[in-house]
Amino acid sequence: MRKEAKVEKHATLAGIQGYHHRDDVFGGRESYAFQGFKGNWYLNSDRKIALDDHYRRVDGQPLQGYGLEIETECNGVRNSRVLAEVYDKIIFPCFKFGDVQFKMQEDGSLGGESSAEVITQIMTKSRIRNDYAAYKLMFNTYFKAFRIKADSYETSCGMHVNVSNGCFGKTVEAQETAIRKLYYIINKHYELCTALFYRCPSRTNWCGQMDYSVAKTMNLYQMDSSHGNCFNGSHYAAGRIEIRLVGGQKDFGCFRNTMESVFHLVERVRTISWTDCDNIAKIFQGCNQYVYDRLATRCNLSAETHEAIRATVVTEELL
């Protein structure tokens, strides 16, 4: 008896973890950004740690991670199922934990012939840095080959960055103070941070400036979750905050410099004084060359501020 020809399996929208049709995006628990993964993982520098259904480590240790939501629009692939295959079979395998690291979600706000919001698991800074080579391949090679854009200057794309409360300190008091300072800095220096995070100034309607005068006294458990705000603190009780001001990224170098800018601010607010939060030179004291490059090329700094920061730059050899 002649054997039937082997049928090649194709990725389906349901088979790509977290991928949902448009009418499900804004309804139902599973459709939310960090819900709907087949398994919850915390990706450390070189390993993955299982999390429970509430995104907590079973050993009780706090998370110190970042979660990315990378919006992409594609004009090289018309069919959503085919775009899903491009990500699932070509792009995601480039990453060490490609099988669990990402999910895709349809986003009705995006354009292009097809589109997808690529969402990560919770990852430490070292995990993201260790994957810089894979991000470079994704942004500079595969995105260009398939005409995928993640650039807020050319499309409506953004890249929201979620940060675990644990990144801001060891105690609840330290975390709350640092989060308040980050909220203050982003909103007090809104135009500078718009450039720092590579957000197109004409595309800030989804991430507008907020009242920074309330930073020291606002109730962190009652922060606004509006998509019109640049800072989303509504998930503070669940263990994270979201920087919505981060824009879409045009290529790997842009992505790396943006992430290094986020890393610097998150770590800087742990030690900076409230008074120094008004001083740009103090805020970026000790930044690395990637953050400095972004400040020097995109941010409108005075000559005095520019030189004060340059004198403190720390060299880190990253891809």
**Partners of 68 in beta bridges:** 161
For residue 157, what pLDDT is reported? 94
What is d(CA 240, CA 220) in angstroms, rounded to the nearest whole number?
Answer: 11
Per-residue pLDDT, 32: 65
Q: What is the mean pLDDT of the chain?
A: 90
Query: Does the residue 2 lie in any domain?
Result: no
Q: Which two tokens stand for residue 141?
A: 């090679």
Residue 287 lies in a domain: no
Give the tens place of pLDDT for each residue, 179-221: 999 999 999 999 999 999 999 999 999 899 999 999 999 999 9
Domain contains 317? no
Residue 226 pLDDT level (bands cut at 50, 70, 90): confident
Q: Would you place residue 27 in the very low, low, confident or very high pLDDT band (cuts 50, 70, 90)?
A: very low
Tell whether 281 is covered by a domain. no
Domain count, the chain: 1
pLDDT at 2: 53
Query: Does the pLDDT at position 22 exceed 50?
Result: no
Domain contains 213: yes
Q: What is the CATH number of the domain that holds 263?
A: 3.30.590
On whether residue 279 sits in a domain, the answer given is no
Nearest to 124 by CA among 35, 34, 45: 45
pLDDT higher than threshold 60 for residue 279: yes
* Token pair belonging to 258: 């943006």
| Percent of the chain with pLDDT strictly greater than 70 | 90
Indicate whether 20 pLDDT > 50. no
Average the pLDDT over 72-88 and give the result.
91
Question: Quick one: pLDDT at residue 4?
Answer: 56
Q: Is 6 a domain residue?
A: no
Identify the domain containing residue 40 by its residue range.
Answer: 22-272
Q: Which residue did the predictor score with more confidence, 24 or 135?
A: 135
Burial class from Cβ neighbours inside 10 Å (0-12, 13-18, 19+) for residue 9 reads exposed
pLDDT at residue 28, rounded to an integer: 41
Q: Is residue 311 part of a domain?
A: no
